[in-house]
Copies of this chain bind each other. A is one copy, B any other.
Amino acid sequence: MHDVQGTQVRPDAAGGLREAKKAATRTQLTTAARRLAVEHGLDAVTVEMISSAAGVSVRTFFNYFETKDAAVLGPDQAVAPDAAISAFLAGRPTGALLDDLVALLDPSDQLAREGRDGVQQLFDLVSREPRVLAAFLTRGMAHEADVARLVALRLGLAEPTTACRTVAAAAVTVVRRGYAEWFADPGPAAPLRARIEQAARELVALVRPADPPAD
């Protein structure tokens, strides 16, 4: 029985059983941290509680995450899957920078990976616990820097210029706004992607207020 408290453990592609078990415990820790934090509030949850819920020692907890907040946030993710990055660098899917950035940062696959409940839980904590918000925003800044590099590459530049960074900041801001609105009212009528596109339209409207309706 190669499992850790119910979480499937199977050797994923490269890397043996060792890596798979590590990934499983990391997931376990994050899951336990989020559940306990939602239930009791982050301050009332000790690292000892999270660790024992995941079946490891407190010392091991700190081998996986630097801080309690980081465990709630979960392991860092790439800004987008490789396929999406390749497409973006090749000028796809539309050729328009802002639209392609929205497509690049489209988080629907992350939603599928963590599950709708997990993401809802995380955003719940982001909006309720200032420390989780702080960690979340810090990670967002790192993602913004990654996006700036990708924009530079797409434009054939070796290093991101000021404009690349501003464009990246705008794109990340639009996606963040979409997330926030989706979380505030996660009805099925307006899926996450639609919220993000709505935020993009609002940004365009700010800059082109006198624009005639396009369609």
Bound-state Cα–Cα, A162 to B138, Å: 24
In the bound complex, how far is the Cα of B180 from the Cα of A165, in angstroms? 10
This chain's copy number in the assembly: 2
Complex CA distance for A98 and B206, rounded to whole angstroms: 7
A-B pairs with beta carbons under 8 Å apart, 28 shown:
A97-B206, A98-B207, A130-B138, A133-B138, A134-B134, A134-B135, A134-B137, A134-B138, A137-B138, A137-B140, A137-B141, A162-B181, A162-B198, A162-B199, A165-B180, A166-B174, A166-B199, A166-B202, A166-B203, A166-B206, A167-B202, A167-B206, A169-B177, A170-B173, A170-B203, A173-B173, A207-B208, A208-B208
CB distance from A199 to the nearest CB of B (A): 5
A213 within 8 A of B: no
Q: Are A165 and B138 in contact (CB under 8 A)?
A: no
Does any Cβ of B come within 8 Å of A176's Cβ?
Answer: yes
Q: Mark A185-203, 1 if CB is under 8 A from B, else 0.
A: 0000000000000110011
Interface of chain A residues 97 through 142 with chain B (CB within 8 A): 97-98, 130, 133-135, 137-138, 140-141
In this assembly, does A90 line the interface, its C-beta being within 8 Å of a C-beta of chain B? no
Residues of B within 8 A of A208 (CB): 207-208
A204 at the interface (CB under 8 A from B): yes
Q: Which residue of B lies closest to A203 (CB)?
A: B170
Instruction: Pick the 5 closest A-B CB pairs, nearest first.
Output: A134-B134, A137-B137, A166-B202, A207-B207, A163-B202
Residues in B neighbouring A17, C-beta threshold 8 A: none
In this assembly, does A212 line the interface, its C-beta being within 8 Å of a C-beta of chain B? no
Chain B nearest CB, measured from A94 CB (Å)? 12
| Measured CA separation A202–B165 after assembly (Å) | 10
Asked if A58 CB lies within 8 Å of chain B CBs, one says no
Min CB–CB distance A146 → chain B (angstroms): 16
Q: How far is the CB of A85 from chain B (nearest CB, A)?
A: 20
Q: How far is the CB of A174 from chain B (nearest CB, A)?
A: 8
